[in-house]
Amino acid sequence: MRKVICLFCVCSIVLASSVTAFAENLDISAKSAVLMEASTGKILYEKNPDERLPIASVTKVMTMLLIMEALDSGRIQMDEIVTASERAKSMGGSTMFLEAGEQLKVYDMLKGIAVASANDGCVAMAEHIAGSEAAFVNMMNQRAKELGMVNTNFENSNGLDDDNHYSSAKDVAIMSRELIKHEKIFEFTTIWMDTLRNGKFQLANTNKLIRFYKGANGLKTGSTSKALCCLSATAKRDNMQLIAVVLAAPTSKDRFASASALLDYGFANYAVKPQVQQNDVLGSVNVSKGSKASIDAVAKQDFSVLIEKGTQQSEIKKDIQLSDNINAPIEKGTVIGKVEFSLNGENLGCVDAVAAENVSKKGFGGMISDIFRKWLNI
């Protein structure tokens, strides 16, 4: 059997020079910025993307990511009780005013972190998950390495200024992309105003885009005298999720204006187009020595491509490559081919073609029958 190897291809596309020129004219006052399309990880705009800078409370993107991963793995539950320590209470800056010994659910702690940027909530959750904030910070740095965040080092869970605490616009986009894979986080990051403690404590989102930018669904602001004004902003329109990161903007107004300009540029010039859906039949493959003579090859997963607006679907080429023949037995989900997508000769990505069902090996009686049929030429 001819083996076809296509475990997973990441979608990519070359930017046209005219669009690039338009991107260069964007008025971005922030020292560093990145615009990323979330489903592909494609960077659509960058300005000093790898410069190491303090990121203030944008740090909480990683803190929230580890919380969501702990929730998804079952290590903690939303209704689990978290007890605030004296150290958590001692945190300055933005807080949810935790008292030592106060008990709140994980759900409320996460709401305080996402909406009110609660530094004390971060420490409480770090201690709850890892035993200490220092151990949790080790987890943050390990996760950053796993994600390929090469210009990042965390010293705390909340982003309070520290000389050795830094990241880059590209790295922030990477961890933001990972966080929003946990779609439940949007339940928190899209809150504009809410309360805690049975209505006794008011929450107001520090991310003004949530109210004033169409499609905005997150993600995290940050500001200190050292980091200036930072933001990881996410928004979704027409099935396309964008991430706009701005670091070291001179004012809060500038960071929101820069993020809006980046998002406007992305939505105006790009689109995500579905090409194949999971279990779409791509063709059939002959089976040797099997209980069936052939088997359907189906798409392993949904697949979309990122293209410039104005590109016609007919311009995207689909090349289906299937095995000529495979031997039974065959297990459902076995890779038996692939389908590749390209535009103007540039690879856009591929998706595996897999066996639609199990096919058992033909029994002895069936094999004897085949021999007689062949001998009798029928």
Residue 185 has pLDDT above 60, yes or no: yes
Going by C-alpha positions, the residue among 78, 59, 350 that lies closest to residue 226 is 59
Residue 36 has pLDDT above 60, yes or no: yes
Q: Cis check for the bond before 329: say yes or no (omega within 30 of 0).
A: yes
Structure tokens at 362: 């033909």
pLDDT in the model for residue 366: 52
The pLDDT tens digits for 53-62 are 999 999 999 9
Q: Are 269 and 242 in contact (CB under 8 A)?
A: no
pLDDT in the model for residue 371: 55
Q: How many CA atoms lie within 13 A of 371 on its CB side?
A: 7
Q: What is the set of active-site residues?
A: 57, 60, 117
Model pTM score: 0.85
The pLDDT tens digits for 1-25 are 333 334 333 333 333 333 444 566 7
- List b or e across 128-164, with b for residues whose CB sees 16 or more CB atoms inside 10 angstroms: bbbeebeebbebbeebbeebebebbebbbbbbbeeee
Tracing tokens 């990121």 back to the chain, one arrives at 55
pLDDT in the model for residue 378: 56
Phi, psi of 166 (to 5 degrees): -155, 165
For CA atoms 230, 180, 35, 194, the dihedral sign is: negative
pLDDT in the model for residue 6: 40
Please give the sequence-ordered ranges of beta strands (E in DSSP) within the chain, or none if there are none: 32-37, 42-47, 81-83, 103-105, 193-196, 201-204, 216-224, 228-237, 240-249, 270-276, 281-288, 294-299, 303-308, 316-322, 325-327, 335-343, 346-355
- List b or e across 246-284, with b for residues whose CB sees 16 or more CB atoms inside 10 angstroms: bbbbeebebbbbbbbbbbebbbebbbbeebbeeeeebee
> Of 11-25, 185-199, 335-349, which one has max mean pLDDT?
185-199
Q: Cis check for the bond before 35: say yes or no (omega within 30 of 0).
A: no
The pLDDT tens digits for 74-128 are 999 999 999 999 999 999 999 999 999 999 999 999 999 999 999 999 999 999 9
Residue 369's pLDDT band (cuts 50, 70, 90): low
Round to whole Å and give the CA distance between 179 and 186. 10
Round to whole Å and give the CA distance between 244 and 239. 16
Residue 314 has pLDDT above 50, yes or no: yes
pLDDT in the model for residue 24: 61
- List b or e across 56-69, with b for residues whose CB sees 16 or more CB atoms inside 10 angstroms: bbbbbbbbbbbbbb
Average pLDDT value for the chain? 90
Residue 364's pLDDT band (cuts 50, 70, 90): low
Q: Are 49 and 168 in contact (CB under 8 A)?
A: yes
| Region 210-218 average pLDDT | 97
| Region 194-215 average pLDDT | 95
Going by C-alpha positions, the residue among 246, 37, 55 that lies closest to residue 152 is 55
pLDDT in the model for residue 14: 32
Q: How many CA atoms lie within 13 A of 309 on its CB side?
A: 10
Q: Report the Cα–Cα distance between both ends of the chain, in Å, rounded.
A: 26
Structural domains in the chain?
31-270 (3.40.710.10), 277-376 (2.60.410.10)
Q: How many CA atoms lie within 13 A of 139 on its CB side?
A: 20
Which has more confidence, 372 or 107?
A: 107
Residue 373 has pLDDT above 90, yes or no: no
Tell me the residue type at 72.
Answer: D
The pLDDT tens digits for 124-155 are 999 999 999 999 999 999 999 999 999 999 99
Phi, psi of 215 (to 5 degrees): 90, -5
